[in-house]
Amino acid sequence: MTRFGLLLTSNGFANQSLASALLFAQTAIANQHSIEHIFLYQDAVCCAASHIDLPTDEPDLSSELALFCQRHSIPLLFCITAAEKRGVVGPSLPARNGYIAAGLAEFAMRQANIDKLVQF
């Protein structure tokens, strides 16, 4: 059994990275591997925005990822500094439910608990 950490760095609303990460995580869990954490950094922090209003014909992959992580007790972390810099979160802008603010130091410490880091 492999212990994975996932790192998302690109905007999941602009490309397939979020869909690919979710599919990878689902497949890993189905094959008896574990996902120890998912960390959103750089433009991927946009997925943690609670104020994004998607068209009704688009899937809400950010919510799907949050539900998947809650179901499997996977910490879904986003870089608070990157999120604040991009206007994703702030004093009047909370993060989307299921997303946890963290720093790069926490991300770095979590690397000791995984076998492989996969970046999307």
Q: How confident is the model over 55-82, as a mean pLDDT?
A: 94
Per-position DSSP letters for 38-96, written without gaps between them: EEE-GGGGGGGBSS----TTS--HHHHHHHHHHHTT--EEEEHHHHHHTTSSBTTBPBP
If one looks up domain 3-51+59-119 in CATH, what number appears? 3.40.1260.10
Q: Which residues pair with 98 in a beta bridge?
A: none
Instruction: Calculate the average pLDDT of the chain.
Output: 95
SS3 of residue 34 by DSSP: strand
pTM: 0.93
Q: What pLDDT does residue 56 have?
A: 82
Residues 6+ positions from 38 with CB-CB distance below 8 Å? 5, 6, 8, 21, 25, 65, 69, 74, 75, 76, 77
Backbone angles phi, psi at 104, to 5 degrees: -65, -30
4 has pLDDT over 80: yes
Q: What percent of the chain has pLDDT over 90?
A: 84
- Indicate the DSSP class of residue 115: S
Confidence category of residue 78, pLDDT binned at 50, 70, 90: very high
Dump pLDDT digits (tens) for 11-59: 888 889 999 999 999 999 999 999 999 999 999 999 999 888 777 878 8
Per-position DSSP letters for 7-21, written without gaps between them: EE-S-TTTSSHHHHH
